[in-house]
Amino acid sequence: MMRAQVWWACVRLGALHRFAYRMEVLSAVVSAAVVVFLNASVWNAVVDGRPGLAGLSPVEVSTYAVIAWIATIVSATRLDEILGARVRDGQIATDLIKPLDLHLWLILRDLGRAGASAALTAAPVLVLAASVFPFVWPSRVGSWLWVALSMVLATLIGGQLAFLIGLVAFRLKNVSGLAHFKASATAVLSGAVVPVQAMPDALRDVVVWLPFQGMSHTPAMLFLEQLDGAGVTRALGVQAAWVVGLFLACRWSWARAIDHLTVQGG
């Protein structure tokens, strides 16, 4: 029971951290709106006057473009840079002597961050975008539940991928370049830039075997109600399997990375 309270505190602190600076909350909304609106503008122009694209109707393409980017904004994290910075300035040493598991602590804190970001950034941008661009809301209440669950799994995927990148800092000492590369790669491979079903065949065949699509394509498909009952279970199952797989990968890499740790500074 005690442990559950500790972990909940991690989630809560991660969220509170986001609420702390009002100007930052506002600028997060504006910058998210800029990219979401750009993506929606371009894809709207593409389907303008056409019957649809890759099996989606024009309004669905527009909605996908909005939801997929918003999902990336929630699920993509700077956890890799945070972990990298802690290694670079030596703070990692104090982290290691705390009676907390660093991996779980960072992941849960990031879940809190994502929750706050969903409420403070994603929700206002979603409402704004839906009022400017052609948009279709889910018709069933149940779909919201699946989207919410899918977003939690998406965040756990994004957080653990970032954790793995951050661990590279244990050897390279500097991950900011790698973190930027990961951010660009994630935007492409998750379906945020180009919907997965509109990707060139060769790329799509690779993407379906990667974890990134769970970060925005899956929530977008659930939002659009493009999947039947079995399809929903399967999509969420694939996301959950990636969460477990990445969890094991993190544990294994974490155990090995500690052996290579050099603490900087005194």
56 binds other proteins (CB under 8 A): no
184 binds other proteins (CB under 8 A): yes
Say how far residue 88 (Cα) sits from the centre of its chain. Answer: 25
For other proteins, give the closer residue by CB, 21 or 144: 21
Q: Binder to other proteins among 8, 16, 19, 38 (CB under 8 A)? A: 38
Q: Binder to other proteins among 9, 53, 85, 104 (CB under 8 A)? A: 53
Q: Binder to other proteins among 2, 5, 98, 200 (CB under 8 A)? A: 200
233 binds other proteins (CB under 8 A): no
* Cβ neighbours of residue 24 closer than 8 Å, sequence gap 6 or more: none
Give the contact letters, 108-137, x = binds to other proteins (CB under 8 A), - = no. ------------------------xx----
50 binds other proteins (CB under 8 A): yes
Smallest gap from Cβ 183 to other proteins, in A, equals 9
Q: For 236, what's the count of Cα atoms within 13 Å in the CB-facing half-sphere? A: 17
Decide: 142 and 45 in contact? Cβ < 8 Å.
no
266 binds other proteins (CB under 8 A): no
Q: How far apart are the first and last CA of the chain?
A: 37
59 binds other proteins (CB under 8 A): no
For other proteins, give the closer residue by CB, 42 or 145: 42
For other proteins, give the closer residue by CB, 46 or 100: 46
Q: Binder to other proteins among 74, 156, 193, 243 (CB under 8 A)? A: 193
> Among all chains, which residue has been given the structure tokens 């990961």?
182
55 binds other proteins (CB under 8 A): no
45 binds other proteins (CB under 8 A): yes
154 binds other proteins (CB under 8 A): no
Q: Which residues bind other proteins (CB under 8 A)?
A: 23-24, 27, 30-31, 34-35, 37-38, 41-42, 45-46, 48, 50, 53-54, 132-133, 174, 177, 180-181, 184-185, 187-188, 193-194, 198-200
